[in-house]
Chains A and B, each alone.
Chain A
């Protein structure tokens, strides 16, 4: 409930019907019996091949579809298979055992592409090297299923004349009802526990989303936020703890402190609105995709609320029949290491066109060895596709040939940029909220409110008095509420003492005659 601080009218937060569709990512009955990854590739090939085969008649109906083993030299045909990209610089476990080490650079490059990369197409019967200028290896990765049209050359390669990707999956129609505005807020990369984490910045976000900040207009916007999704990397456990050695008692606090701090913030959030929290690569969850939900026992305070939902990574949910799908960033980061595109949004577009959330799994991205399914296949195109833990906020509206409309969002790391994203549920519009570094923000508002308050006092207009005991007049309601919040900080119950002392003295600097109006 977002109570207005000034008036008596209470604003009610909007509600939306939520359906969690993570069931296919949860590992429940699967048992590991020593199987390898051949089964997940088989399932992927089978599923994608049936989809491509329904598209081939619209593409090139006159050509026969062959298996790789059935290729004849010089005969034009279409083959469907899984792509494998042979990369010289891709790190391999066998390099540790090779005698000559000079070829492998000790410093790992961020991107493993080289000009020698080539593509190979593989199906159950065999594999064939793909040649020709049509397929640029830098745009493809291992693990995607495509159809190629061409012919076998005398060297045994397959010369590609054209290729077909599955394209965007069919989309369920977006519901056209409600004139109401509803927003979904996304944030990722909080990294509680690192030096980059700024508790004041996150507290600002919490206050804004829960409606404790601002005048009625601001609170009205906050009341339209129906859900907050935390897309991964909410906490950071120092990697020194992962060495396998026992943790000394004096280090116990360092291990649990980030989790407890996050729980305090989360409890404030879940008391106000439904929150979905996803695991990321730095969170205490399993490494391989799909990452299982963070355990309830980590969040002693927040898990008591039924608005707290711990989700898998990737996360698929539905709000008022609008489909949201997203990950914490590992799939796009892996694509970035093994292929090239002009921005991260283009990688996201490609995964949608290939109808697979994480095509490099299990090749270079850890993945569970499923036997009877591949859960990352995209059966129906989502309406909103988000990826967390990226460098900057980017968004694009993707239009498909069958009237599909997808809003692609790249969510930046909050600890670095202070940016959260709000998505309008209906028209796929998104905007970013920037939470400025608190010092400048407070200074700004303080100065404005101070000026206005002084001006009002000089004109004998009754100023808006701050609710705290200091009686300091602030010119704007926003400034007034911020001052109230700051006064609560002065008591030191939210911030540690040195920081609140800093703000106290800063406040004194600008208002030497506090409580003197």
Chain B
């Protein structure tokens, strides 16, 4: 968890004020709003700083820095329709099911998930699919 970035984010929000928004920040917030869909947390942030694309996934604010190649591979596995719907099943369970059906899911996905299982518990959100808690 890169807490430094969060503090920076909040600091920027305070600088720009709550109710009254100066025109420069309002234009930048408009720009940032058009760039990123789930708007809530990106109010008042300058367009240059990377703002979170997804909020409250599994309860934690998902920052782009954490969203590395591993998560990218897991999300691609989620979105692949060949292995069936991803909502309502855990990723590992879905992988096992796909393997049992003979669909040959990519083995490195399983390695990532098993590696996470033995690792720290802070990444438990990775076992749930992309849309968990959002749909």
Contacts and interface: CB of A to CB of B under 8 A. Distances in A.
Nearest to A32: B88
A39 B89 contact: yes
Contact of A38 (B88, B97, B101): B88
A35 B135 CA distance: 12
A372 B98 CA distance: 9
B81 A39 contact: no
A124 B103 CA distance: 15
B135 to A, nearest CB: 10
A34 B82 CA distance: 22
Contacts of A39: 84-85, 88-89
Given A371-B97, A372-B97, A372-B100, A42 B84 contact: yes
Contact of B87 (A38, A43, A124, A125): A38
B38 to A, nearest CB: 22
B93 interface: yes
B88 A34 contact: yes
Contacts of B87: 35-36, 38
Contact of B88 (A43, A124, A125, A371): A371
A309 B70 CA distance: 52
B88 A36 contact: yes
Contact of A46 (B84, B88, B89, B90): B84
Interface string A35-66: 11011001100100000000000000000000
B81 A35 contact: no
A38 B85 contact: yes
Nearest to A47: B101
A33 interface: yes
A125 B84 CA distance: 11
Interface size range on B against A: 10 to 19
B97 A125 contact: no
A38 B97 CA distance: 14
Nearest to A41: B85
Given A46-B101, A372-B97, A372-B100, A33 B82 contact: no
Nearest to A124: B81
A372 B93 CA distance: 9
B10 to A, nearest CB: 33
B101 A125 contact: no
Interface string B76-92: 00000110110111100
Interface string A18-34: 00000000000000011
A371 B81 contact: no
Contacts, number: 34
Contact of A124 (B82, B90, B93, B97): B82
B99 to A, nearest CB: 11
A38 B131 CA distance: 15
A371 B101 contact: no
Contacts of B81: 124-125
A39 B86 CA distance: 9
Interface size range on A against B: 10 to 19
A65 B7 CA distance: 56
Contacts of A371: 88-89, 93, 97
Nearest to A125: B81
A33 B93 CA distance: 12
B129 to A, nearest CB: 11
Contacts of A42: 84-85
Interface in B99-118: 100-101
A35 B89 contact: yes
Nearest to A46: B101
A29 to B, nearest CB: 12
Nearest to B85: A38
A38 B81 CA distance: 12
Which of A36, A43, A46 has the largest count of B CB atoms less than 10 A from its CB?
A46
Which of B81, B88, B90 has the largest count of A CB atoms less than 10 A from its CB?
B88
A371 B89 CA distance: 8
Given A46-B101, A371-B97, A372-B100, A33 B88 contact: yes
Contacts of B89: 33, 35, 39, 371
A516 B93 CA distance: 82
A46 B85 CA distance: 12
Interface in B50-84: 81-82, 84
A511 B104 CA distance: 82
Contacts of B85: 38-39, 42
A39 B82 CA distance: 12
Contacts of A35: 87-89
A119 to B, nearest CB: 22
A46 B97 CA distance: 12
A124 B97 CA distance: 17
B105 to A, nearest CB: 13
Nearest to A38: B85
Nearest to B96: A372
Interface of A: 33-36, 38-39, 42-43, 46, 124-125, 369, 371-372
Given A43-B84, A46-B101, A372-B93, 12 more contacts: A35-B89, A36-B87, A38-B87, A39-B84, A39-B85, A42-B84, A46-B84, A125-B81, A369-B88, A371-B88, A371-B93, A372-B97
* A-B complex: 8 closest residue pairs judged by Cβ atoms: A35-B88, A42-B84, A38-B85, A124-B81, A372-B97, A36-B88, A371-B89, A42-B85
6 contacts: A36-B87, A38-B85, A39-B85, A42-B84, A124-B82, A371-B88
